[in-house]
Structure 1
Amino acid sequence: MRHFFGIPDEEFIRGDVPMTKCEIRKAVMNEARIEEDSIVLDVGAGTGSISIEAALAAPKGHVYAIERFDKGIDLINENMKKFNVNNMTVIKSKAPEGMEELPDLDAVIIGGSAGGMTGIMDEAQRLLKIGGRLVVTAVTMETGYTILKELKGRPFTYEGYQMSISRYRKAGPYHLLDPLSPIFIVSATRIAEGE
């Protein structure tokens, strides 16, 4: 059965770990272009919301989720059980450590780099197949700047945009808009060297 992106936020076991919101997840997953047999890496997996969506979209593939915090690892494992996901491997590490032994990848999604973007990009470039997709989300302008700087001179074509989402909230007989934090999304395609 085909998975449609956008599991409601409240479906995930979350705790106090940051989570990519539903509307942003839909955009990220669309940009990643995950097929049913894709091999995907989620860097800075947090609660595992991106990883879970990717695993459900790639039932014949596999997802690797790298997370450095124990509370995140625990939540990812809980969410894997909740959503009956068994095509996923959780790696406790601060990327780029933990990426060394991964297979060739169809997609790399970076939601957190903890200051290690250069090393993560080196590994992503090495692991991504030609035509593979890289998607980076950034909530700070500094991270947005860093990824654009990192992509220059590398074998990728890329584009980016900023999303601002506001959700309806009932207030008596009326509806108000509650804004989420704006987010930068950069998507890139791995090309052959010298193209």
Structure 2
Amino acid sequence: MQHRFRINSYWNIKGRAIVLSLVLLTVAQGLMGQFSNKDWYISPKISFADYSNRHDWDGYSIQKVPPISLAVEKGLTDYLSAGALMGFSRDKYKNDTLATNVHRYSEFAFGGVANVHFAGWIEKWTNYKVFLGDWDFYAGLSLLMKWNNAREDDVWNEETQQLVSSKSADFNFSVSPLVGVRYFVNDNFCMLLEIGPGNMGFFTTGITFRIPSQYY
């Protein structure tokens, strides 16, 4: 089994440009965020990622568990939240001709998240309620530990002219940005869309349940 350790940082010029564009968009649209201090936010999510380019999977039956995750965060101030995220995904490819030829790939992630919520800040800066509506715009960072496992059974090796099997594991620690938007359907339920590598996939959607502080 092979083990590799990598440290990746995605906070670059492109990420900063996305965040800046999002701030400008919130100002232009004139919307109000409903994020509030001390409340808990529980968000089941699903990401969109395609790992099928590892091989040509023509002639294989494919089973997938898409990248799913659960984030739990708490409002620390009127502008900042922090919490934890865990996620999982799995791909399985089984050869339609040789049943023992199976490829399995899985990923498990766990770590912390912190988000900055812009609406309250801009209202405070302008000293005027410029936002109207039921929206929350935010940007943040995820510090994630990811474990990737691969198992390949009865794969044809051209050099040895034999069927071989192998296993490998990969540990990856990443500090990655994301930007997101929530639309509150009511005071305690909203839909979300997030963009950035701070999730299990670059594009992520889901829902959020808010638990107001007066309930605990």
TM-score, length basis structure 2: 0.21
The structure in which a higher percent of residues are helix is 1
Question: Which structure has the greater CA radius of gyration?
Answer: 2
